[in-house]
Chains A and B, each alone.
Chain A
């Protein structure tokens, strides 16, 4: 079997390649915290510096509102400090929203930017209208605190003096709090004083800062927490390391600032392509909680190591582990969400209810993508396919799809029709002087459409119609690159912060969401192109909270070394935790040439990434999986084939994510939240709740330690060997595979037949692999739909649950009884049922209601050649995948 069926997508970047040595990451090109005035200021503040108290507490429009005013009135010669407006809203499912902004009635110089189009409209309908609040005097306080209901078991406390907001279990322990350390600071917009210089200069760039300082910072504490996670995108560990505190080396905070970073390093708090300001805390004692700050300006977050505040006089309840964090942003408002959990999946669901569920991808896009910058040049391509439509048709005829790059920068050239149109209509982002911003990117002098403007967004979307995008066909999908945005001659390789957007919004206020709006407009374009009937596939490099609704992301320009393979796992796990489940890293590493062993190992791990793509920089040697000799080709084919056999399972998981936000690929602790040994494990990961995968991240590894959590056993995916749970196993590994296990008590639907692309697998029969637990029971699910349209939203899908117990397998319908007005049917059958952990002996199984028998024999666990152990197999039960039936072992 050669691998032609494996290549599903062909990416073509029509660029010309050259060889030259490359330099590596240039730390000095990017601002560190000390060079960033708002960050330096916030970091240098001492606990208790905040002197604000909450006053005029009341209920209005279903919210608890208050004014934040200074405790001591200012001295006469000082300028009076204007009050801030605080409001607390409560939403279903234990979500607290806290907003703090300047008082609009006091005519601030400018309205601060609130990030648009991230919160889904459905969320606002879930608001609980508060009717009343109660007062309570907390021990030792001179002033009252106000308490409101949050959900059954939780309440919100607004402490008046000093001002503090926290969520606690009813009458009991704290969960998440804000300003407990008195670090809250809100720089209000004001008129420039005489002689004052607001400009900031960095590396020859001047930020005019016409509105002056406007930063916000505050501390957030998570109680009963052992670790904090989230706030991508950083190339770092899953459990976030402390950035300050005793024993912590001088470190930068975790930075959230979307940047096109050349050759990012594998372990750094430095901000790269995307930003999701959402943090999750988890601990054995309390469970899980979360905090999300909806703010798209540059953000810096410190994780404070225990003892960081030794000199502080503030004491907090010390009966539970606590993690303190410091959040700093250059601009915007406080619009923050507290999630109470209590389980990991609850927190993710709560976050998703605010920012929207991940889109259900087309089936084809969950298979393998083959990509390269570039294939080698248009001469190659033109020799074979003199026109792009022809090429796409040929690919489509074999069920394959193509993805092309569409970037935001537009070449400033009068002969460029689109540029002319955009500049005539005034659709570009403006520079500080009001002219079209002109920056340098691939085509040279370029401008950038202002995607904040809904009119421009829809104009952009129209450009993807078949008529407008010449040479596009229905099998063509899109990749948005460079949308941080990348500006080669801009400060820190991006757009100046004083550039101006629609509604006089400064770029500094929305920077982290620019790529998000661009991604959104492109995905909308593909939906329009298909008359609302074809799910879009748009891969984006930049992202923000909510990007999960529009497509996939990948971790950008990584490097072909073992460290980058290793860090790809925590990076993808972190993205999954924060909603962006459809994510992956470039298999093989973008820069550099992987040794065949590294490449094979990367395919073995990458086959489990939700977004599975091989990609390489133009200067690298060709590295398609078939170029490394027969043995390596076999190994990579095997890895890719594992993914294809698991596509029904993956697709079911994508649907689960689409319903609940629970990521396809999850940290172990999400499935085993009480098992402390899993909390900082980011070498292994779960695919759904049934598979555990352990990467091999070192050269010539002979043995690997794998911790298998839980009380149940685990079955090796290749050998069927059973391993005990709750133990670390030292396993021998061969080049053939990385350790992967099916959890006892689960059923995984698979498709064993080889095809040249996933499109051809649609009608293929299923194999059910049942891994029995120690009570000889198991269960699993399968979701099927047409794989491409939106009909599933009208109920056109099949959703089955398989339950095995007492020697009988039952297939149950778990789709809602009246799911909608559309239907989906499948004639696919189950050709094979494998029973792991069942003793051999039975010869027959009885199928009901058909009342016929199927043979039971010892058959191969997998069909991919080489050695396969024999396992108990029900041969050709051929029951309909969509039907109700039972199969009883006789």
Chain B
């Protein structure tokens, strides 16, 4: 009994949020859930009892949408799943309305774009659990990454230091060399001046110096080339690591499907190939003719008569396999490839109507009425859409996300650091500093390594600081708000676009002008509110601030923004993070309060 009351009133509460106006009448708004607008008359017509549309029975108004099936045709339960034969009218706010089978109401799968078929919040509880689990894993992962990064930082710092020392030594000896050279040149000059009259000699000396300069240039080019190829090596190394991983994986996957080799390609392609190729192996040796070739018949006879010795082991295997596949074995020698080609041909040759029929058979999953098909097509489109754009409130990844991805790339490879260490060690061993003149190519190598290592070090440092900053945040008692970190939620209200980025800032945009509503402050009211403060100052008023009230919902979605008192904004964000069973109860209480406080809370700003 208790449960039911809760359902119905929670439903009413959702109505508040989606801003559908209307006065309290009988039957009440919530009781009209799932009824098509054109059909409301039918339910409002008589004062006390309503007839089942099939004429079989009558039911009272209190039995309308009471989550118990009274009419076998579903007349009394348009808004619940109680009657198997019912239809649910989905308003699909902002979209084309739909008529859903009542089996889809509150089944945990969103079939209506506006989510109105999933109003009982139970699915939210599940979503939240999932979210919490994912967050916990992610936090553990990030924490371990952080400690790994710190470790790397330490090692790298040491390396950079060593390189720096070496670099300084090189610079020093170069300086020394330079001084020596200068001195030599000076002496030379003096000597030249002393022999100024022997001008022919001077010319020769100059031309020689020109040659020297030339050869130095050549060397430089070589260094550049070397460094280029060094990079190539690193690049190759990374690639090959990836390759090994892929081969390893796909090999195993393939093998489970008795499959064979894989080719390059992205992960998804490989996975698809695994399937494809497994089919190839299955097809091995089959042919597509529907006629039984004469020698096939002979083989069968031979086999039946027990005279199988004359068949090769392979012929026998093919022959027996052909019983299941219905293929003749006339072309035993045809290889896998040939069979495969045949297959593709035969697909192309299949009459189109056959294919169509089959597609229908396959994807209809079931349904033969066209509305259904549309429905599923919509599912597909919607699902793909979800992948691309995320929630319909289109939270997008903030810029920092890309950076994170980038830096992850540099640190995710476990052997990356080892490689640098090795390189540095090699350099330090190979480069003989006390050899003068300094080998310019080796010096360049050291310099390059130093530059790269310091760049990496600073990358790591910034990643560390970003992670530290992120992990310092309070993601809620169960880290249920963890996924909010890289999200912003938007809501368009008239000319304004409100953009709420938890843990960061909130703003109101109008065309090209942006007003800051506040910087992230904290969660309030036991994680039922997100507070943003210190926004742009109002003229003659306080700094702007924003309170985001959190509600249980199946999606992260900002449903309402108001400005109840000047420059103090309030928004409503529905999110599975708030879908706790006990919270559903509390919502109940809140709802009662809200009803009293704001009978017409849906007015636009």
Contact = CB atoms under 8 A, between A and B. Distances in A.
Interface string A1-36: 111111100000011101111110010110000000
Contacts of B107: 755-756, 760
A16 B258 contact: no
Given A4-B367, A5-B103, A409-B258, A865 B279 contact: no
A23 B255 contact: no
A489 B279 contact: no
B357 interface: yes
A345 interface: no
Contacts of B4: 876, 878
A656 to B, nearest CB: 28
Nearest to A630: B368
Nearest to A868: B72
Interface residues of A, number: 108
Contacts of A493: 320
Contact of A203 (B2, B261, B308, B368): B308
Contacts of B324: 262, 617
Interface string B352-386: 00000111011111111100100010001001000
Nearest to B1: A878
B68 A863 contact: no
Interface string B320-336: 11111111100000001
A489 B69 CA distance: 60
A3 B109 CA distance: 16
Contacts of B252: 417-418, 463, 467-470
B240 to A, nearest CB: 17
A440 B314 CA distance: 7
Interface residue SS majority, chain A = loop
A20 B292 contact: yes
Interface stretch (B170-178, B201-209, B265-273): B265-273
A415 interface: yes
Contact of B109 (A14, A397, A415): A397
Given A203-B306, A489-B316, A20 B327 contact: yes
A217 to B, nearest CB: 28
B284 A442 contact: yes
A410 B278 contact: no
B179 to A, nearest CB: 61
Contact of A378 (B67, B255, B275): B275
B378 to A, nearest CB: 13
Interface in B49-106: 66-70, 72-73, 81-85, 101-104, 106
Contacts of B72: 860, 863, 865, 868
Contacts of A81: none
B318 A440 contact: yes
Interface in A195-211: 203-204
Contact of B362 (A262, A376, A416, A868): A376
B290 A20 contact: yes
Given A2-B369, A380-B362, A388 B275 contact: yes
A407 B254 CA distance: 12
Interface string A445-458: 11000000000000
Nearest to A472: B253
Of B72, B102, B359, B369, most buried by chain A (CB within 10 Å of CB) is: B72
Instruction: Assign chain B's interface to a size class.
Output: 35 or more
A622 B288 contact: no
A491 B372 CA distance: 52
B364 A442 contact: no
B251 interface: yes
Contact of B258 (A377, A411, A860): A411
A18 B325 contact: yes
B239 interface: no
Interface string B240-251: 000000011111
B260 interface: yes
A7 B367 CA distance: 11
B274 A19 contact: no
B582 to A, nearest CB: 12
Given A18-B288, A441-B317, A469-B253, A622 B361 contact: yes
Contacts of A464: 256
Contacts of B84: 1, 641, 752-754, 863-865
B80 to A, nearest CB: 9
Interface in A862-883: 863-865, 868, 875-876, 878
A384 B361 CA distance: 13
A204 B309 contact: yes
Nearest to B246: A470
Contacts of A507: none
Interface stretch (A89-97, A141-149, A788-796, A827-835): A827-835
Of B68, B317, B376, most buried by chain A (CB within 10 Å of CB) is: B317
A471 B290 contact: no
Interface in B293-319: 300, 303-304, 306-309, 313-314, 316-319
B483 interface: no
B254 A418 contact: yes
A379 B347 contact: yes
Contact of A2 (B1, B73, B101): B101
A389 B268 contact: yes
Interface of A: 1-7, 14-16, 18-23, 26, 28-29, 203-204, 262, 375-384, 386-390, 394, 397-399, 404, 406-407, 409-411, 413, 415-419, 421, 439-446, 463-464, 467-472, 487-489, 493, 617-619, 622, 624, 626-627, 630, 633, 641, 752-756, 759-760, 763-764, 827, 829, 831-832, 850, 852, 859-860, 863-865, 868, 875-876, 878
Given A21-B326, A439-B317, A622-B357, 5 more contacts: A204-B307, A384-B362, A471-B272, A633-B368, A863-B84
6 contacts: A23-B300, A23-B323, A416-B254, A472-B253, A754-B81, A863-B83
